[in-house]
């Protein structure tokens, strides 16, 4: 019913330029309500006794932050009763009820989070996520034709992948699953073949040095140049951005030269103008010399739990890019991830090259 959500938003546009978030949530939850009632009818038509539950009925208690509520507590009494009665419960994703008893939506990734939270609360063995691909791949198969489906990925790897452009699962649901120890099984809605298991890393797991290469061209880069390298300067800048509700992703500050430094960060492309204005607003106060914005960047990332104990990984990544004349503009790392910002139009080439360099290409049959 994805189309239905757009239709509902169009209806809202027709009636008013003002959309109180509480009413937006009331409106948008109608789509899932329709879907789940239809799913239950389809199941009934096949002789399966099913019962639909709204987020509220399923006991999904959230905060009152409309359109992007967070789950505070799960009280799935009715779901347990339905299971005990032999029914197949069908629960509306993406919605809950706030502590002030208003209907909320969980924002981006909210449907998967609903599933994971229910699995956790019910003590399920596994949370199966059915999607339009057969699992999590070593790279986006649309970019890398030799990408392989991964049988098993650790939560940490999956989180890094989700955070850096992996499109199968949202970071939020993986985080939730990790915190509650819920194994995830990502698989296809259209076939019965096993997909990818996302599980707690354990000692017996054979860590791949690099499991996957991800890419992301949805961000832009902002650079504030000639910033005096004093304590508190960066804090002032990022406070300004936070107050304007702008989410930052990568942040890189170069080593100071002559007491001046550059601070670069990436933001969603949709926030580029807001971020630019925010930096300009504090530029003089910071004593910075200039602010520049660049929408032509992309990011390529390698993720692997085995990277920790393999010192050569960084070198191989940089060599691979350098051999192709791909310039690295920003670098950011964690213990199991290395991300490089490069020109957006070189991202695909970089992903394909890294996928081959780290031995991820599927053996052609």
In the complex, the residues that contact its own copies under the rule CB under 8 A are: 8, 11-12, 15-20, 22-24, 26-27, 29-31, 33-34, 36-46, 50-52, 54, 56-57, 78, 101-103
Give me the least distance between CB of 283 and its own copies, in Å please.
37
Residue number, 43 or 209, with CB nearest to its own copies: 43
**C-alpha to C-alpha distance for 348 and 300, rounded to whole angstroms:** 9
Angle at alpha carbon of residue 339, lines to 337 and 341, rounded to 5°: 180
Q: Cβ distance 239 to 302 under 8 Å? A: no
Residue number, 34 or 251, with CB nearest to its own copies: 34
Hey, what are 267's tokens? 């933001």
**C-alpha to C-alpha distance for 28 and 104, rounded to whole angstroms:** 9
Residue number, 22 or 277, with CB nearest to its own copies: 22
Residue number, 51 or 241, with CB nearest to its own copies: 51
Give the chain's end-to-end CA distance (angstroms, integer). 38
Give me the least distance between CB of 43 and its own copies, in Å please.
8
**C-alpha to C-alpha distance for 95 and 79, rounded to whole angstroms:** 15
Residue number, 54 or 356, with CB nearest to its own copies: 54
**C-alpha to C-alpha distance for 233 and 255, rounded to whole angstroms:** 15
Give me the least distance between CB of 31 and its own copies, in Å please.
8
Say how many C-beta atoms besides its own lie within 10 A of residue 57's C-beta: 18
Give me the least distance between CB of 89 and its own copies, in Å please.
12
Residue number, 37 or 126, with CB nearest to its own copies: 37
176: part of which helix (H) or strand (E)?
Answer: helix 171-180
Residue number, 37 or 83, with CB nearest to its own copies: 37
Give me the least distance between CB of 28 and its own copies, in Å please.
8
**C-alpha to C-alpha distance for 39 and 147, rounded to whole angstroms:** 34
Give me the least distance between CB of 104 and its own copies, in Å please.
13
Residue number, 11 or 126, with CB nearest to its own copies: 11
Give me the least distance between CB of 351 and its own copies, in Å please.
40
**C-alpha to C-alpha distance for 235 and 237, rounded to whole angstroms:** 5
Give me the least distance between CB of 60 and its own copies, in Å please.
15
Hey, what are 293's tokens? 């914005």
Half-sphere exposure in the Cβ direction for 52 (13 Å, CA): 16
| DSSP-derived secondary structure for 19-40 | --HHHHHHHHHHHHHHHHHHHH
């Amino acid at each position: 019913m994805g189309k239905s959500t757009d239709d509902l938003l169009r209806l809202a546009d027709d009636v008013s330029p003002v959309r109180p978030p509480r009413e937006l949530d009331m409106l948008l939850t109608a789509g899932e309500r329709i879907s789940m009632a239809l799913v239950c009818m389809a199941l009934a038509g096949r002789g399966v006794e099913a019962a639909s539950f709204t987020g509220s009925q399923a006991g999904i208690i959230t905060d009152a932050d409309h359109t992007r509520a967070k789950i505070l507590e799960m009280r799935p009494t009715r779901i347990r009763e339905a299971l005990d009665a032999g029914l197949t419960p069908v629960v509306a994703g993406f919605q809950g009820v706030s502590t002030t008893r208003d209907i909320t939506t969980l924002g981006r990734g909210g449907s998967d989070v609903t599933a994971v939270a229910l699995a956790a609360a019910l003590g399920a063995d596994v949370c199966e996520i059915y999607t339009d691909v057969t699992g999590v791949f070593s790279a986006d198969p649309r970019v890398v034709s030799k990408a392989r489906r991964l049988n098993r990925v650790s939560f940490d790897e999956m989180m890094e992948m989700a955070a850096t452009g992996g499109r199968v699962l949202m970071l939020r649901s993986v985080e939730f699953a990790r915190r509650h120890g819920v194994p995830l099984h990502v698989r296809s809605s259209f076939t019965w073949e096993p997909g990818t298991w996302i599980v707690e890393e354990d000692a017996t797991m054979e860590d791949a040095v690099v499991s996957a290469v991800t890419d992301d061209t949805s961000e832009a880069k902002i650079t504030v140049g000639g910033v005096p390298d004093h304590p508190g300067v960066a804090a002032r800048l990022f406070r300004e951005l936070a107050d304007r509700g702008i989410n930052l992703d990568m942040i890189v500050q170069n080593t100071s030269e002559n007491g001046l430094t550059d601070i670069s960060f990436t933001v969603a492309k949709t926030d580029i103008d807001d971020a630019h204005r925010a930096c300009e607003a504090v530029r003089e106060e910071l004593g910075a010399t200039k602010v520049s914005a660049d929408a032509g960047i992309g990011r390529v990332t390698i993720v692997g739990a085995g990277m920790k104990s393999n010192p050569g990984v960084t070198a191989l990544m940089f060599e691979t890019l350098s051999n192709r004349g791909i310039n690295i503009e920003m670098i950011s790392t964690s213990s199991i991830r290395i991300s490089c910002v490069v020109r957006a139009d070189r991202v695909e080439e970089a992903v394909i090259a890294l996928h081959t360099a780290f031995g991820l290409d599927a053996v052609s049959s």
